[in-house]
C-alpha cells in the first residue's frame, strides 16, 4: 500500500512538472490587438494632470506607493522599487481617503505625520520630519479630494 501511495505521489509530481514545462508565458503585447491579454497588472498612476498634481508628485517622491495604491493604480518609477514595493502593497488603497467626513486636510496631514495620533492601531510609520510642510499639505489636499 505504501508503494502505491508513493507511485501516486510521483505520478502527480511528474504530471505537474510536465504541465508546467509545457507552458509558455505570453507577452500580452504580442497578441493581436483584438486579443490583448490582461495579466492583472495595476493601472499606472497619473501624477501629471489634474488640480492636485503637486500632491500626486509628492506622494511619488516620498515613497507612498511602497505600500499604497490609489484606485488600484501604482506609480512606476516611484521610490521603493516595482509596484507593490518593499511592503508588497499591504497598505490600504487611498482612492477614497477623503470620503470620510472626518478626513479633512488637517486630519490627513496629522495622520500622515503621526498615524497613531489618530488611529492607535495604525501600522503606517510616522512621516514627521520626512516631508516638507508644502509636500505634506499637497498630499493631504490631494487625499482629501478623493471621494
User: How confident is the model over 21-70, as pLDDT tens digits?
Assistant: 333 333 434 434 443 334 356 678 888 889 999 999 999 999 999 999 99
CA 23 distance to own-chain centroid? 28
Domain span at residue 25?
2-35
Residue 81 covered by a domain: yes
**Predicted pLDDT at 46:** 84
Q: For position 97, which CATH number holds?
A: 1.10.760.10
pLDDT band of residue 78 (cuts 50, 70, 90) is: low
- Angle formed by the axes of helices 133-145 and 105-113, nearest 10°: 130
Task: Verify that 59 and 86 share a domain, yes or no.
Answer: yes
Domain count, the chain: 2
Contact criterion met (CB below 8 Å) for 76 and 44 = yes
Task: Verify that 31 and 58 share a domain, yes or no.
Answer: no
Amino acid at each position: 500500500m505504501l508503494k502505491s501511495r508513493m507511485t501516486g505521489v510521483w505520478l502527480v509530481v511528474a504530471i505537474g512538472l510536465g504541465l508546467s514545462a509545457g507552458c509558455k508565458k505570453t507577452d500580452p503585447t504580442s497578441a493581436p490587438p483584438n486579443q490583448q491579454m490582461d495579466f492583472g497588472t495595476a493601472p499606472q498612476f497619473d501624477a501629471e494632470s489634474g488640480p492636485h498634481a503637486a500632491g500626486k508628485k509628492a506622494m511619488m517622491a516620498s515613497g507612498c506607493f511602497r505600500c499604497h495604491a490609489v484606485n488600484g493604480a501604482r506609480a512606476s518609477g516611484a521610490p521603493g522599487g516595482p509596484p507593490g514595493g518593499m511592503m508588497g502593497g499591504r497598505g490600504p488603497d487611498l482612492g477614497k481617503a477623503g470620503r470620510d467626513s472626518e478626513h479633512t486636510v488637517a486630519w490627513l496631514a496629522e495622520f500622515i505625520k503621526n498615524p497613531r495620533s489618530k488611529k492607535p492601531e495604525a501600522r503606517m510609520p510616522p512621516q514627521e520630519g520626512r516631508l516638507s510642510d508644502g509636500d505634506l499639505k499637497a498630499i493631504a489636499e490631494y487625499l482629501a479630494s478623493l471621494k
